[in-house]
């Protein structure tokens, strides 16, 4: 081993030791040796050993140079350095090389792709001729022009001017939501509305997001509208392994006799309880007409035929579940969910390294905890005194049942990450979560090169659309039990306003005096103050409709936590608060649900509730003392 390679190996071994996986290098050595004995190579080996072969055996290299007199490479922007070197070695001498690629769609650096392979070709081959295929046959002119205005901000690129000879088309829409919750409803409502007006099938719609974890809120909003969907290149949120593992622990904490949940996690994370032991547990439980949990709790009484070492492992598992059940009586639901994730070992298991796969799993678990917190907060705001973990499990059981629904249904909205969408096309495209720290990713903010790749990623997303493209962002997202401000992505400012219907910028009062972009489109009329639906029809969700944002001079008044006025009537038209009057017809801005109009006020004091018709999420009844909104005067 060369000194430089040896030093690098030592560095990797030390890193593995710090990550508590000290045997990885030995496992890899054995793997390499087994591959060699078997005469097998993996993909990395094929590339590396081909380069070594050409380096050490010039006669072999010359043979293949003569054999491949002309070389054509597709998708060259996605090649890594080893592939580039092979092409360069083969092409030397005759230089009969033709590569096809689009530097603006180089989005796979995390897989080793190197954009400089295509950008530096003209320097490597001084006689290189570039033929720019600039006509876009897919998208309307407005979509193509919008994408051009975005990618023009990148410094590292081959200049080109893509054009379309299709119709001008609708402008790209940029829509702001008050929260990720409202964003999901805006998208689902728009899909329902556009399907009716454009006569498109659900198959013609795609919703693209930067990270897999974003799908949860979108899935729930689509379910509310009974819109069928599929997750392309992945699983529905509640079908992902780490989510199913966490939910299994949730179920065991509530009910340790839950056999399916127990079988799923009795050896996850690995604790040495194998299939043989599990089979014995199942046999003893079934023969005694009991539960597996009872056998684990009293293995001797049930004559379980295992050795002392296995008995100790079973006791460790039982003690863990007993500890979680004890915590269930002491902690509120969000705290309990977080405790289960940590003490079960799930979080430690998926945090062992920073691979893209494990980062995605961590994001999914964090989103599950957000879902628990959001569920409890919504229940609290609706007047529920206490929300248990079993209530949350009952709520998501419907979602998991729908995930296992009729797979023969082919007409579905497609949900996927932007990376997975490359090469695909849809008539109607929604790109959600176009916010700082999400798109571009927070992990890319320290590098201009990575920011440019994020910009290319959005370019790819926009150019998936044939007829209509909509970008959405939320001014806040629910994270770690609180609503966190999320500024619009810097990329939105890169878009040329000639081709985009952009939200109007208005300055609103806030503690930091920040610029908020209110949701497009606007209307000169104030929203109606009466409900669009009958009083009984509380579950129907109205389609999105224009609204008037508060003008720069209007004041946003924060509601005090408790009403100070007392009235004796059950139904009333106004209620006094420490900050002012809330009455039927009051226009409010809710932290999660967005804009709405108060349509009813009931009860008094701490039990005072208001009914609000929200523009995108429908009707909600809120307990006033917990309601998080502002009055727009």
Predicted confidence (pLDDT) at residue 133 exceeds the cutoff of 90: yes
User: Number of H helices and number of E strands within the chain?
Assistant: 21, 24
Confidence of residue 529 (pLDDT cuts 50, 70, 90): very low
Written as six digits, the tokens of 173 are 């829409």
Q: What is the pLDDT of residue 512?
A: 31
Percentage of the chain beyond pLDDT 90 is 49
Residue 146 clears pLDDT 80, i.e. is over it: yes
Q: Comparing 236-240, 263-267, 461-465, which segment has the lowest mean pLDDT? A: 236-240
Q: Please give the pLDDT value at position 410.
A: 84
pLDDT of residue 595: 86
Q: Is the pLDDT of residue 240 over 60?
A: yes
DSSP 89-157: HHHTTT--EEE---GGG---GGGT--THHHHTHHHHSTT-------EESSS-HHHHHHHHHHHTT-SSS
pLDDT, one tens digit per residue, over 505-519 is 433 333 333 333 333
* pLDDT higher than threshold 70 for residue 405: no
State the average pLDDT for the chain. Answer: 83
**Percentage of the chain with pLDDT > 70?**
84
* Paired residues of 557 in beta bridges: 631
The mean pLDDT value for 56-68 works out to 93
Cβ neighbours for 147, distance < 8 A, ≥ 6 positions apart: 139, 162, 459, 462, 463
Q: Does residue 488 carry a pLDDT above 80?
A: yes
Range among 385-389, 451-455, 514-518, 614-618 with highest mean pLDDT value: 451-455
Question: What number is the average pLDDT over the span 233-246?
Answer: 87
Q: 237: exposed, middle or buried (C-beta count within 10 Å: 0-12, 13-18, 19+)?
A: buried
Q: How confident is the model at residue 229 (pLDDT cuts 50, 70, 90)?
A: very high
Flag whether pLDDT at 545 surpasses 80.
Answer: no
Q: How far apart are CA 243 and CA 252, in angstroms?
A: 14
Task: Considering only residues 485 and 554, tell me which one the structure prediction assigns the higher pLDDT.
Answer: 485
Residue 468 pLDDT greater than 70, yes or no: yes
Q: Please say whether the beta carbons of 485 and 517 come within 8 A.
A: no
Let me know: does 623 contact 602? Beta carbons within 8 Å.
no
Q: Is the dihedral of CA 103, 109, 113, 114 positive or negative?
A: positive
Look at residue 573 in the predicted model and tell me its pLDDT.
62
What radius of gyration, in Å, describes the C-alpha atoms of the chain? 29
Confidence of residue 37 (pLDDT cuts 50, 70, 90): confident
Q: What is the pTM of this model?
A: 0.72
pLDDT of amino acid 615: 84
Q: Comparing 95-99, 337-341, 571-575, which segment has the lowest mean pLDDT?
A: 571-575
Find all residues with CB under 8 Å of 574, minimum gap 6, and list them: 581, 582, 583, 584, 601
- Lowest-confidence segment of 93-107, 301-315, 469-483 by average pLDDT: 469-483
- Provide the pLDDT for residue 621: 83
**Of 11 and 490, more confident:** 490
126 or 557, higher pLDDT:
126
Q: What pLDDT does residue 245 have?
A: 94
> Mean per-residue pLDDT for 171-179?
93
Residue 591: CA atoms inside 13 Å, Cβ hemisphere, count?
20
Q: How confident is the model at residue 554 (pLDDT cuts 50, 70, 90)?
A: very low
SS3 for 565-593 is CCCCCCEECEEEECCEEEECCCEEEECCC
Greatest Cα pair distance, the chain, in angstroms, is: 99
Name the residue with higher pLDDT: 118 or 603: 118
- H/E stretch holding 540 reads none
> CA 161, CA 144: separation in Å to the nearest integer?
10
The DSSP string of 4-40 is: HHHHHHHHHHHHHHHTT-TTHHHHHHHHHHHHHHHT-
């Amino acid at each position: 081993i060369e000194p430089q390679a040896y030093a690098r190996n030592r560095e990797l071994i030390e890193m593995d030791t710090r990550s508590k996986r000290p045997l990885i290098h030995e496992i890899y050595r054995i793997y390499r040796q087994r591959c060699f004995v078997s005469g097998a190579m993996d993909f990395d080996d094929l590339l590396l050993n081909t380069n070594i072969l050409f380096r050490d055996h010039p006669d072999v290299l010359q043979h293949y140079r003569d054999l491949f007199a002309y070389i054509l490479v597709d998708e060259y922007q996605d090649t890594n350095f080893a592939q580039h070197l092979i092409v360069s070695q083969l092409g030397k001498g005759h230089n009969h090389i033709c590569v096809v690629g689009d530097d603006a769609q180089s989005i796979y650096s995390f897989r080793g792709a190197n954009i400089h392979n295509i950008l530096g070709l003209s320097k490597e081959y001084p006689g290189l001729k570039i033929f720019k295929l600039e006509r876009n046959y897919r998208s309307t002119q407005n979509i193509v022009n919008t994408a051009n205005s975005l990618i023009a901000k990148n410094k590292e690129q081959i200049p080109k001017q893509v054009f379309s000879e299709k119709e001008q088309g609708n402008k790209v829409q940029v829509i702001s939501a008050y929260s990720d919750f409202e964003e999901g409803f805006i998208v689902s409502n728009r899909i329902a509305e556009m399907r009716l007006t454009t006569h498109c099938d659900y198959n013609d719609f795609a919703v693209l997001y930067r990270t897999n974890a974003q799908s949860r809120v979108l899935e729930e909003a689509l379910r509310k509208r009974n819109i069928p969907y599929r997750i392309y290149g992945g699983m529905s949120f509640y079908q992902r392994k780490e989510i199913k593992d966490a939910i299994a622990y949730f179920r065991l904490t509530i009910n340790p006799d839950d056999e399916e949940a127990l079988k799923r996690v009795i050896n996850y994370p690995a604790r040495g309880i194998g299939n043989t032991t599990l089979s014995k547990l199942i046999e003893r439980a079934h023969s005694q007409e009991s539960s597996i949990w009872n056998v684990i709790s009293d293995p001797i009484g049930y004559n379980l035929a295992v050795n002392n070492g296995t008995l100790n492992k079973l006791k460790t598992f039982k003690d863990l579940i007993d500890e979680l059940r004890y915590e269930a009586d002491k902690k509120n639901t969000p705290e309990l969910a977080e405790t289960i994730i940590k003490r079960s070992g799930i979080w430690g298991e998926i945090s062992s390294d920073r691979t893209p796969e494990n980062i995605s799993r961590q994001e999914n678990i964090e989103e599950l905890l957000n879902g628990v917190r959001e569920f409890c907060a919504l229940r609290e705001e609706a007047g529920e005194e206490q929300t248990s973990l079993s209530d949350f499990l009952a709520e998501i059981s419907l979602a998991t049942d729908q995930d296992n629904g009729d797979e023969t249904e082919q007409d579905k909205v497609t949900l996927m990450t932007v990376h997975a969408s490359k090469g695909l096309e849809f008539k109607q495209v929604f790109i959600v979560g176009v916010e700082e720290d999400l798109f571009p990713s927070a992990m890319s903010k320290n590098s201009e090169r990575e920011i440019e790749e994020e910009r290319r990623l959005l370019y790819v997303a926009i150019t998936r659309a044939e007829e209509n493209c909509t970008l959405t962002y939320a001014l806040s997202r629910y994270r770690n039990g609180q609503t966190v401000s999320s500024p619009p992505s810097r990329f939105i400012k890169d878009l040329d306003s000639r081709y985009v219907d952009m939200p109007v910028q208005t300055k609103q009062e806030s503690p930091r005096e920040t610029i908020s972009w209110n949701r497009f489109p606007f209307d000169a009329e104030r929203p109606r103050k009466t409900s669009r639906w009958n009083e009984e029809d509380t579950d129907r969700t109205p389609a999105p409709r224009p609204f008037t944002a508060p003008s720069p001079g209007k004041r946003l008044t924060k509601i005090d936590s408790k009403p100070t006025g007392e009235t004796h009537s059950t139904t009333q038209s106004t209620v006094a608060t420490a900050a002012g009057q809330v009455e039927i017809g009051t226009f409010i801005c809710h932290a999660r649900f967005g804009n709405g109009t108060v349509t009813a006020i009931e009860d008094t004091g701490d039990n005072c509730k208001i009914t609000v018709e929200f523009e995108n999420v429908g009707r909600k009844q809120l307990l006033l003392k917990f309601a998080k909104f502002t009055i727009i005067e």
